[in-house]
Amino acid sequence: MTDEEIISNINKVRTQIAEAEKKSNRKEGSVKLCAVSKFHPVEAVIASLKANQFLFGENRVQEAYSKFTEIAKTDEGKNAELHIIGSLQTNKVKKAVEISSCIESVDRTELLDEIEKQCTKLNKTIEVFFEMHTGEESKAGYVDFASLQKDVALCAEGKYPHIVPKGLMTMAPFTEDRELIRKSFVTLRECREKLNAEFPSLPITELSMGMSNDYEIAIQEGSTIVRVGTAIFGVRQY
């Protein structure tokens, strides 16, 4: 992909997001775009910054760390913001909290404990999203609502002063069945509604859902952040 192609793709996705907002009677600008730059080089991120795309998502900490420490040193890169969106091993938390503003893939108590520990050392406050398992084919995330509820309760009790629980994240199943995809997004939205009712003091507002193939459905179902990789940067070479 050339820089021009990346910039043009970002603008296309923005237009589609705006159309989807309108069609589903959502407020203009209520859906943020997270550009998923995994497997793509530093240059692809720099090109995006030129289109005023500042929010990025990466799923592997090692790769994200080397890329985003380099990007932070450039003039354009000062405004870049990174979300970690992939399942996170406990021993990678230290680096993850150093480079990101939000960890979207929290899926267990042990991870919250470690994020709190590392953020305390850095004197940093970080946002987290809880990842819910809503589709049969995705293995990541809390499998049952009760275990999610338990961890959110720990946040509400004040166990994690350096963590701001800001939202929920999910990946829809990889399928052609649009109704199955929709069901997964509805489930996430209903989880947020239940958590908001039970923990009104917590700022759980964001719904990170929707990827290149399904973000329009996600927007119809209330997504506030779509995570788009392929539609911006092209097919990944694994």
The total of other beta-carbon atoms located within 10 Å of residue 209's CB is 31
Give Dmax over CA atoms of the chain in angstroms. 49
Rounded to a whole number of angstroms, the minimum distance from the CB of residue 209 to ligand PLP is 9
Q: How far apart are CA 173 and CA 97, in angstroms?
A: 28
DSSP reduced 3-state for 208: strand
Contact of 99 with 118, CB cutoff 8 Å: no
Rounded to a whole number of angstroms, the minimum distance from the CB of residue 75 to ligand PLP is 27
Q: How far apart are CA 111 and CA 109, in angstroms?
A: 5
Site string for ligand PLP, 185-224 (x = CB under 6 A): --------------------------xxx-----------
Closer by beta carbon to ligand PLP, 137 or else 198: 137
Rounded to a whole number of angstroms, the minimum distance from the CB of residue 31 to ligand PLP is 15
Asked if 67 touches ligand PLP (CB under 6 A), the answer is no
> Measured between alpha carbons, how far is residue 123 from residues 4, 86, 115, 200, 230 in Å?
39, 24, 12, 26, 35
Asked if 77 touches ligand PLP (CB under 6 A), the answer is no
Rounded to a whole number of angstroms, the minimum distance from the CB of residue 213 to ligand PLP is 6
Options 7, 20, 38, 88; binder of ligand PLP; rule CB under 6 A = 38
Asked if 103 touches ligand PLP (CB under 6 A), the answer is no
Question: 76-96 b/e with 16+ CB inside 10 Å = b?
Answer: ebeebebbbbbbbeeebbbbb
Asked if 227 touches ligand PLP (CB under 6 A), the answer is yes
The token pair that represents 59 in the structure block: 């799923």
Closer by beta carbon to ligand PLP, 58 or else 116: 58
The token pair that represents 16 in the structure block: 């589609």
Closer by beta carbon to ligand PLP, 59 or else 224: 59
Asked if 49 touches ligand PLP (CB under 6 A), the answer is no
Contact of 15 with 23, CB cutoff 8 Å: no
Q: What is the DSSP letter of 26?
A: P
Asked if 53 touches ligand PLP (CB under 6 A), the answer is no
Type of residue at 47: A
Rounded to a whole number of angstroms, the minimum distance from the CB of residue 212 to ligand PLP is 3
Asked if 135 touches ligand PLP (CB under 6 A), the answer is no
Q: Which residues form the interface with ligand PLP (CB under 6 A)?
A: 36, 38, 59, 85-86, 171, 211-213, 227-231
